[in-house]
Amino acid sequence: MANNKELLGIHGPGSNHWVGDGFPVRNLFPSNGVTQMNPFLMLDYAGPTRFEPSNRPRGVGEHPHRGFETVTIAYQGAVEHRDSAGNSGTIRPGDVQWMTAASGIVHEEMHEREFSRAGGIFEMVQLWVNLPKAHKMSAPCYQGILSGQIPIVDLGAGAFARVIAGELSGAKGPARTFTPVNVFDVRLSAGSKVELSLPEGHNAGVALLRGDIVVNGSKSVRGEAQLALLGPAGDSVSLEAKEQSILLVLSGEPINEPVASYGPFVMNTQAELRQAVEDYRAGKMGHLK
């Protein structure tokens, strides 16, 4: 019999701000004081926001990262990415970009040109995933995951889950990860009830982007940008939708190492952070051409 993970609390966004001029975000952690999502470091929910047509693409210009991974999940709108390792690509609805900054990379994220010219609704999630010390200085890499590559698990009654990373009901996500994590894009129809398996010992959470759900048969979570934080004990979460709902279910094996962070750098010590800043300023993470 499944044993539901303990519901530790419901948290709204701790901040509401712009990243560059293209990403109006609500931060679901860590700005609200949630620190128990290790190995996940941060979750920003951008939008949904309507952008008027523009001949100048909006977004975030050249900036560095070191020591972790950025995962961008597109719901509406499109983003063009390019980085100092020579990778480039366009993330469209349903696609996922999984970028491993590792030893250091410089990139930019801009609204896709046609989307900018036409305008429209923009909605995305960006998740930061920590890397263990052994891989923080590995070579950067890039995974451009198209919607058609992501397996879909039928949960019944019109509900389904897209398995981006990890495994659910025998379906394995295409994302290659350094530590065990699950990232499920879940859509629930009104009245649907599902139980999702999550590994014992994983920290976990359910990020409700919008909708109205009941978690583990007891706690109502409704509206937009809400996080149901789950404890590591237990091996499942039960969800019931009162209306059509979109959510992101996350779980991960904790990385039990010190975390030192400074802006776009996440390392293990303050000395490593100082070195990251020096390396970036010296151009050792490259530049966009």
Each residue's pLDDT tens digit, 138-178: 999 999 999 999 999 999 999 999 999 999 999 999 999 99
Those residues with Cβ within 8 angstroms of residue 275's Cβ, 6 or more apart along the chain or in another chain? none
Within a domain: 267: no
Within a domain: 268: no
- Count of the separate structural domains present in the chain: 1
Q: What is the pLDDT of residue 249?
A: 98
Note the pLDDT tens digit of each residue in 70-120: 999 999 999 999 999 999 999 999 999 999 999 999 999 999 999 999 999
Confidence label for 1 from pLDDT (cuts 50, 70 and 90)? low
CA distance 276 to 264: 10
With 80 as the cut, is the pLDDT of residue 2 above it?
no
Note the pLDDT tens digit of each residue in 222-267: 999 999 999 999 999 999 999 999 999 999 999 999 999 999 999 9
Note the pLDDT tens digit of each residue in 179-199: 999 999 999 999 999 999 999
Least Cα distance to 122 among 164, 62, 63, 80 occurs for 80
Host domain of residue 121: 7-252
Question: What are the DSSP E strand ranges found in 179-269?
Answer: 181-188, 193-197, 203-215, 219-230, 236-252, 260-262, 265-267
Within a domain: 258: no
Which CATH number covers residue 197?
2.60.120.10
Q: Is the CB of residue 72 less than 8 Å from the CB of residue 113? A: no
Within a domain: 32: yes
Within a domain: 271: no
Within a domain: 167: yes
